[in-house]
Amino acid sequence: MKENIFDDLYKALINYDEVLVKNLAIESIKEGIDPIETISVLRKGISEIGDKFQKGEAWLPDLMLAAKTMEIGMGPLQNEIEAKGIKRSSLGKVVIGTVFGDLHSIGKGMVSTLISANGFEVVDLGINVDSKKFIDAIQKYNPDILAMSALLTTTAPEMERVIKAVNEAGIRNKIKIMVGGGSITQEFAERIGADGYEPTAVLAVSLAKKFLNIN
Amino acid sequence: MARKGFKRNFPPLEILSKEDVEQIKKSTLDILKETGMTIEHKGALKMLEKNGCIVNYDTFRVRFPEGLVNECINRCPPSFRVKARDPKDDIIFGGNSVYFKAGPGMDIANVRTGEHRIATKQEYIDAVRVLDALENVDWFSCYTPYFGYMNVPEVMKMTMGFVQDIKYSTKITGLGFANYNWDFNFRIAKIAGTEVMCPAFMVSSPLTLSEFAVEVGFKALEYDFSIGVDTGSVMGATAPATIAGAISEFNAELIAGIVLAQVKKPYCRVYVWGFPNPQNMRTGAPYFGNISGALFNVANNQIWRDYGIPCRNTAPLYTNSKLTDFQNGIERGIPAILSALSGASTINLHGGMYGEIAHSPIQAILDDDVAGMIGRFIEGVSVNDDTLALDLINSVGPVPGHFLDKKHTYNWWQKEQYTAKYADLLTYPEWERAGKKDCIYYAEEKLKKILAEHEVSIKLTEGQEKEINEVVKELYNFYLEKGDLSEKNDFNNY
């Protein structure tokens, strides 16, 4: 029974069948299957889409739909984990947001979704986030990584201000900082004192893993 | 006096039926009425509510009635002048005029290697002088040529770049805004005696206007500058993947800005522009140079002609290529000519390398030829007794007759034929003997010549420079007090 559910769940995920994924997640709970084990099946599906993407056989809408499908399946599984008090490990914690003055959410959303789908815990602060909000979130959630996004050349300098605030708050050595967005370059990232930059959401996931020495 | 630009002397390319145009315009009205826009500016919300919009102050959502929308569109002048420091560089928007415009890049690019890095101050000034000298650069974008230069703190870069633009060129420039620098920038423009093209009410697609975007727009209107309402739809990401749907949303975003402008200051000068690109479904970046972006522009130019408001196209500035190569040429050349054929008032073209990542004066020089070629094309075919040359054809007759030694040829060939300035036009043996030089070599030679010879037509006076320096000093102190500058620097060295 478990094998059948897992087999169907895997196929439903890679076909982006949100309804079926949710139904199968619920069925797995009813059958008493460990939700952590069920989540690993969903992760396997996400990995396959990720591999296809790297080979040029899948595109961003595939990745995003797969991640959204997984998120829908995760709903009941997450409830079950909390109800049973099961301890769920994550690869690490990421606080993410689009910087002040910038209302663009898509790139940040892609990174947030893919990082989450890959097993990180994500605290998404949304858009138009000023340095105070970033600092408050770092102090509240104690993340491993701070990720900032800016699409506009006019808002990119805001990242430097956040990093300066992180330095002044005395918490710079507790976190790794990654930056990204349409107007960001490697040179800019280095100039403002970020620890890393990647041009795409998929590579941002690899960078997050690299920061935390995860293979 | 004003810049000549080019005149399109034949009907524009139209690819939508009358019914298509009406259907898209109706969709735009429906979006504005049903969903509306999020406008994060309380003053704007009050103003719009007073003028008949339905406003939700908790969500900042504004829904626009059709009557107000149509009234505001009708208030926009179909043609208007923007004044430069030197009247020869004034721009007259609208009608069948087509202008070309230089675009920005964060860094200076090496067109042969694709490498890029932040420009030095001298490189910044050199690049401004090149754009000032080029015949077919009619005006500059914001933060053009580069997004600042070396040894200037990030927050000061935009303003310092703008100062060099107005010092070394009399051409009109766009003016970028960030971090509360707008009032300082507008004051600098006023001191220099130039109008600026203000990208105001800059929409964050989908359907959102930030507080600062509105604030900049209102401030520009206070200074009586023209308003460039813009948005940046990415098809498949911030807008539908379908071109008709994306245009409907794009235009709703622009019209929201027009309503804000025309309610705040009726009959103000407005043009529209934006960045319509499909999403690159591999990288998540906009897919520059995609033919669907050109298709969007051609269709939308037709719609904005119908609204009677000048429209600027940006797509031809951008390419995915990191080099000056075949891909660069094709991704920029095709959208550029399609924009010109379909009635864009201004086309962003000169100098752009890979989005806004880099700019190159060499690329700008080569682009000047592209503008020249397109300009020649849209001027069309002149048909009259003189150009038909019937008497001449009859007098020359069959072989061995020819036209090379005729006065008619002498008088007409340079008007009829555009001779590329920087292309390799040699015969093969001459090309070999001359060291197999390419167009980049010829552009490099032109660059040297401009830097050796070109002077801005009107220099800023000592008094103007002093006043501008005072404003820069004020801005510097403003940022210092705000805590945006980490240490005291000598801003005179900027």
User: Are the Cβ atoms of B107 and A183 closer than 8 angstroms?
Assistant: no
The size of chain B, in residues, is 494
Question: What pLDDT, in 10s, does the model give residues B65-122?
Answer: 999 999 999 999 999 999 999 999 999 999 999 999 999 998 999 999 999 999 999 9
For A57, nearest residue in chain B (alpha carbons): B282
Question: Residue A201 belongs to what H/E stretch?
Answer: helix A201-211
Considering the domain architecture, whether residues A64 and A8 belong to the same structural domain is answered as yes
Question: Can you give the C-alpha Rg of chain A in angstroms?
Answer: 18
Which chain B residues have a beta carbon less than 8 Å from that of A110?
284
Domain boundary assignment for chain B: 6-15+74-379
Considering the domain architecture, whether residues A101 and A191 belong to the same structural domain is answered as yes
Q: Of A159, A153, A157, A154, which Cα lies nearest the Cα of A195? A: A159
Structure tokens at B188: 């600098």
Which chain B residues have a beta carbon less than 8 Å from that of A160?
154
Average pLDDT over residues B245-260: 98
**Which pLDDT score is estimated for A113?**
84
Q: Of B208, B202, B215, which Cα lies nearest the Cα of B239? A: B208
Residue where one domain finishes, among candidates A84, A108, A128: A84
Average pLDDT over residues B35-49: 98
**Which pLDDT score is estimated for B492?**
63
User: Are the Cβ atoms of B281 and A59 closer than 8 angstroms?
Assistant: yes
Question: Residue A138 belongs to what H/E stretch?
Answer: helix A131-141
Contact criterion met (CB below 8 Å) for B300 and B276: yes
Question: Does B157 contact chain A (CB < 8 Å)?
Answer: yes
Which chain A residues have a beta carbon less than 8 Å from that of B158?
154
Which chain B residues have a beta carbon less than 8 Å from that of A101?
178-179, 210, 212
Please check the confidence at residue A102 and state whether its pLDDT lies above 90: no
A79-93, A192-206, B134-148, B258-272 — which is least confidently predicted? A79-93
3-state SS assignment for residue B357: coil
Question: Can you give the C-alpha Rg of chain B in angstroms?
Answer: 24
Average pLDDT over residues B352-358: 86
Residue A154 or A33, more confident: A33
Considering the domain architecture, whether residues A119 and A186 belong to the same structural domain is answered as yes
Which chain A residues have a beta carbon less than 8 Å from that of B154?
156-157, 160, 192
* Chain A residues with at least one Cβ partner in B under 8 Å: 56, 59-61, 101-104, 106-107, 110, 128, 152-158, 160-161, 164, 182-183, 185, 187-188, 191-192, 199-201
Contact criterion met (CB below 8 Å) for A122 and A115: yes
Task: State the pLDDT confidence band at B489, using cuts at 50, 70 and 90.
Answer: low
Question: What pLDDT, in 10s, does the model give residues B163-177?
Answer: 999 999 999 999 888
**Which pLDDT score is estimated for B484?**
80
> How far apart are the CA of A188 and the nearest CA of chain B, in angstroms?
9
Site from A154, A161, A183, A200 to mutate, B interface, most B CB atoms within 10 angstroms: A154
Q: How many domains does chain A have?
A: 2
For A56, nearest residue in chain B (alpha carbons): B282
Which chain A residues have a beta carbon less than 8 Å from that of B486?
164
Half-sphere exposure of B123 (CA within 13 A, CB side): 20
Question: What pLDDT, in 10s, does the model give residues B417-440?
Answer: 999 999 999 999 999 999 999 999
User: Are the Cβ atoms of B284 and A107 closer than 8 angstroms?
Assistant: yes
pTM of the model: 0.89
Question: Residue B117 belongs to what H/E stretch?
Answer: strand B116-117
Site from B212, B216, B279 to mutate, A interface, most A CB atoms within 10 angstroms: B212
Question: Does B204 contact chain A (CB < 8 Å)?
Answer: yes
Considering the domain architecture, whether residues A156 and A80 belong to the same structural domain is answered as no
Contact criterion met (CB below 8 Å) for A127 and A190: no
Task: State the pLDDT confidence band at B490, using cuts at 50, 70 and 90.
Answer: low
What strands, in cross-sheet order, belong to the sheet with B37-39?
B54-56, B61-63, B37-39, B208-209, B203-204
What strands, in cross-sheet order, belong to the sheet with B358-359?
B116-117, B107-109, B358-359, B352-353
Considering the domain architecture, whether residues A40 and A115 belong to the same structural domain is answered as no
**Which pLDDT score is estimated for B488?**
64
Considering the domain architecture, whether residues A101 and A124 belong to the same structural domain is answered as yes
Give the bridge partners for B160, in sequence order.
none
Question: Does B236 contact chain A (CB < 8 Å)?
Answer: yes
Q: Which of B177, B355, B357 sits opposite A154 (nearest CB)?
A: B177
3-state SS assignment for residue B272: strand
Q: Percent of chain B at pLDDT above 70?
A: 98
**Which pLDDT score is estimated for A151?**
81
CATH number, domain of A106, equals 3.40.50.280
ipTM score of complex: 0.75
User: Are the Cβ atoms of A59 and B204 closer than 8 angstroms?
Assistant: no
CATH number, domain of A15, equals 1.10.1240.10
Considering the domain architecture, whether residues A12 and A66 belong to the same structural domain is answered as yes
Average pLDDT over residues A154-161: 86
Average pLDDT over residues A54-61: 87
3-state SS assignment for residue B292: helix
Q: Which of A110, A154, A158 sits opposite B176 (nearest CB)?
A: A154
User: Are the Cβ atoms of B283 and A199 closer than 8 angstroms?
Assistant: yes
Considering the domain architecture, whether residues A79 and A125 belong to the same structural domain is answered as no
Q: Which of A106, A160, A200 sits opposite B154 (nearest CB)?
A: A160
Q: Which of B143, B236, B486 sits opposite A164 (nearest CB)?
A: B486
Which chain B residues have a beta carbon less than 8 Å from that of A155?
178
Structural domain B6-15+74-379, CATH architecture: Alpha-Beta Barrel (3.20)
Residue where one domain finishes, among candidates A64, A84, A104: A84
Residue where one domain finishes, among candidates A84, A109, A136: A84
Average pLDDT over residues B52-57: 98
Q: What interhelical angle do A60-84 and A106-117 show, nearest 10?
A: 50
User: Are the Cβ atoms of B179 and A102 closer than 8 angstroms?
Assistant: no
**Which pLDDT score is estimated for B107?**
92
**Which pLDDT score is estimated for B254?**
98
Distance CA B80, CA B94 (A): 7
Please check the confidence at residue B406 and state whether its pLDDT lies above 70: yes
Question: Does B486 contact chain A (CB < 8 Å)?
Answer: yes
Please check the confidence at residue B487 and state whether its pLDDT lies above 70: no
Considering the domain architecture, whether residues A150 and A192 belong to the same structural domain is answered as yes
Tell me the residue range of the domain where A31 lies: 2-84
Q: Which residue do the tokens 């959102």 mark?
A: B208
For A58, nearest residue in chain B (alpha carbons): B282
Q: Which of A110, A157, A191 sits opposite B178 (nearest CB)?
A: A157
Instruction: Share the mean pLDDT of chain B.
Output: 94
User: Are the Cβ atoms of A103 and B210 closer than 8 angstroms?
Assistant: yes
Q: Which residue do the tokens 């870069």 mark?
A: B157
Which chain B residues have a beta carbon less than 8 Å from that of A188?
106
